[in-house]
Amino acid sequence: MTQFLFFSGKGGVGKTSMAAATAIYHADHGRRTLIVTTDPASNLADVFMEPIGAAIKAIAAVPNLDALEIDARQAAQEYRDRVLEPLRVLMPQAVMDVVAEQLNSPCTEEIASFDQFIACMEKPEYDVVVFDTAPTGHTLRMLELPVDWSRHITEAEQGSGQTCMGPVSFLAGAKERYDQAMAAMRDPARTRFIFVGQPEATPLGEIKRAKQELEHIGIPAAELIINGVLPPEAGDDPFITRRRLLQASYIGKASADVGLPLRQVPLLPIEIRGVSGIRRLASVVYEGAGFSDTDAPVAVQEADLDLDSARALVRERVQPFPGDSQRIVLVAGKGGVGKTSVAAALGIRSAEAGQRTLVITTDPAAHLAAVFQQPVGTEATPIEGVANLWAARIDPKAALAAYKDRLITDARATYSDEMIGILKEQLDSPCTEEMAAFNEFLTYLIGTEDRWDVIVFDTAPTGHTLRLLELPINWERQMAAHDQADETRSRYQAAIAKLRDPRKTTVSFVVYPEATPILEAGRASAELAELGIPTGFVVANLVVPAEAATSGYLTARRSMQQGHLAGVPARFAAPVLVMPLLDHELLGVAALREMGQKLLGKEGVLTHD
């Protein structure tokens, strides 16, 4: 019977590396193994250093190991073809046109990706299937879908027979598959759910909440891996000692709070890439092997970055352009690179320069409250200690409830009770949540010029943010194809125009100076450029400062980082800011103010020339 291993946690904590190491470990022990990534911004190919793609592929250097990247767009097209093809010989063209239109809805990508995820659990030829999942909030959403869709199909069968994906008959057999998948995930003999975190407040707090949510839907967690623990080789100077003590306090807290068997994995001085590197990590994780090849001195070639010029440019790009009423700043990047801290620090700088500023998160994991160390709700909340600054979060479930109420209230003025009943069934679809959250995002993007001078969006990890920014463009194209001209299309057109105007919107990417986050952000930047949305600046976070590199171990890490930093300006065609690794956490207003000064200097933000 196939065993399923899920690796989850906040982005950037090492899920993909741990999943890859586990997959190779099982394959090397003779088990037929499949590794699957459900992350829309997959790094699996980057880690293995070879193309993988949306078809199962054998990893040539590892007998018994296959790999797969679920591609949402390709999955959606295959899903449409699979649903439509058998109907063409049965249905008149008029009916086919309606069905095809329904399958062009935004939720098709979600259900198609989910369908592929379920299919990976139906492959008896594998002994082990390892899932490298998207960051926590989106993974919880995916794992809730079997429950939500099963319920939605049952309700549709008992009601109008319609779902947001068409007649319930088109989903024949789906409910049984979803129920079987859920049964497998709830069975600890078949499924091990493994959290990966780092010894810091935010990722461990997220794991504690996620564990509770999993238990709510009947999925037990099995283990916690704490990655990135400073080893003895890092040295014992005051900087490292302070960070080691900080880590130790969180490891002890995690052991008590999370209540799972705990495995510690050291921070390694090199990047884990390629089969040999992944296999070496597997020996560290599962066999307790050491990592002692950093004793030799390493020459560090410093990256040539013009930080003063970069700061001047960025200070201009995070404030309203002269004559314009508002600036939008989108902070994007791979999970775990520090987007929330950067967004909060930029918000403080903007507010203290006199701008009415809102920092809002679109990430369902919502870390703003933890970073500000203050409550942050779905309504804009003033941040204590900073005049002109407010914070808020887009809560998908709260947005969904408000969205349903608004649509039903509006419909009552026009439609019969029977039609209202059908509308309620449609709105009970799991797809509605995404639409509701997106509409909330649009409201802040194009409907708040009279309230805020600057809005800083702390976005979800890369793949989900790309989808968020592409949605108005995709939907507007669909409406244009059907010659629709209404208020909704006008909103999409206004959103597109604002996103594409560098005087109104600045897109920034946060990376840490390693190959994987830089490659992921670079692909996203190029994709947005094709849509006419340029990148305004890049923040390189967690850079080992020269004064801290007192051991061969940290010198090796600094050398690796500087090598990557050197290529960032050309890759993004944008100015680069540098945020050094600190010996304390960036939590609370005072620490975030310090971060803003290190990023942008102590000059005021308002510096338009």
CATH of the domain at 401: 3.40.50.300
609 in a domain, yes or no?
Answer: no
Angle between helix 417-427 and helix 396-412 axes, rounded to 10 deg: 160
Does the residue 497 lie in any domain?
A: yes
167 CB-near residues (< 8 Å, 6+ apart): 161
- Pull the structure tokens for residue 163: 């779902």
- Please check whether residues 321 and 422 belong to one and the same domain: yes
Q: Is residue 292 part of a domain?
A: no
Please report whether residue 293 resides in a domain.
no
- pLDDT the model gives residue 440: 80
Which residues of the chain are modeled with pLDDT < 50?
Answer: 295, 605-609
Name the phi and psi angles at 438, rounded to 5.
-65, -40
Give the C-alpha separation, 307 to 454, whole Å. Answer: 24
On whether the CB atoms of residues 366 and 42 are closer than 8 A, the answer is no
Question: Could you tell me if 77 and 189 lie in one domain?
Answer: yes
Q: Do 84 and 158 share a domain, yes or no?
A: yes
**Structural domain span for residue 142:** 3-287
Tally of structural domains, the chain = 2
DSSP symbols for 490-559: HHHHHHHHHHH-TTTEEEEEEE-SSHHHHHHHHHHHHHHHHTT--EEEEEEEEEPPGGG--SHHHHHHHH
Q: Tokens 């790009």 map to which residue?
A: 317
267 and 332 share one domain: no
Are 242 and 131 found together in one domain?
yes
List residues with catalytic annotation: 12, 14-17, 39, 516
- Tokens representing residue 70 in the block: 């679920």
- The CB density around residue 299, as the number of other CB atoms within 10 Å, is 6
Do the Cβ atoms of 428 and 152 come closer than 8 Å? yes
pLDDT value at residue 409 = 72
Q: Give residue 505's pLDDT.
A: 92
> By C-alpha distance, which of 162, 243, 241, 317 is closest to 542?
243
- Does 229 share its domain with 319? no
Query: Which tokens is 405 given?
Result: 């109420």
Closest CA to 61 of 109, 23, 90, 110: 23
Considering the domain architecture, whether residues 277 and 312 belong to the same structural domain is answered as no
Last residue of one domain, picked from the residues 221, 253, 287:
287
d(CA 366, CA 364): 5
In the block, residue with structure tokens 């900073």: 386
Q: Which of 253, 287, 321 is where one domain is finished?
A: 287
Decide if 608 is inside a domain.
Answer: no
What per-residue confidence (pLDDT) applies to 365? Answer: 60
pLDDT, position 605: 46
Question: Based on the domain organization, do 276 and 324 belong to the same domain?
Answer: no
In a domain, 163, yes or no: yes
pTM for the whole structure: 0.74
**Residues 113 and 237 grouped into a single domain:** yes
CB-based contact 540:565 (threshold 8 Å):
yes
Residue 425 lies in a domain: yes
Beta partners for 508?
Answer: 331, 537
Polymer length of the chain:
609
Contacts of 588 (CB under 8 A, 6+ apart): 372, 373
Buried b (16+ CB within 10 A) or exposed e, 88-106: eeeeeeeeeeebeebbebb
Distance CA 120, CA 150 (A): 18
Listed in sequence order, the residues at least 6 apart from 95 whose beta carbon sits closer than 8 Å to its beta carbon are none
- Please report, as a single letter, which amino acid is at residue 161: G
Distance CA(402)–CA(32), nearest Å, equals 47
On whether residue 605 sits in a domain, the answer given is no
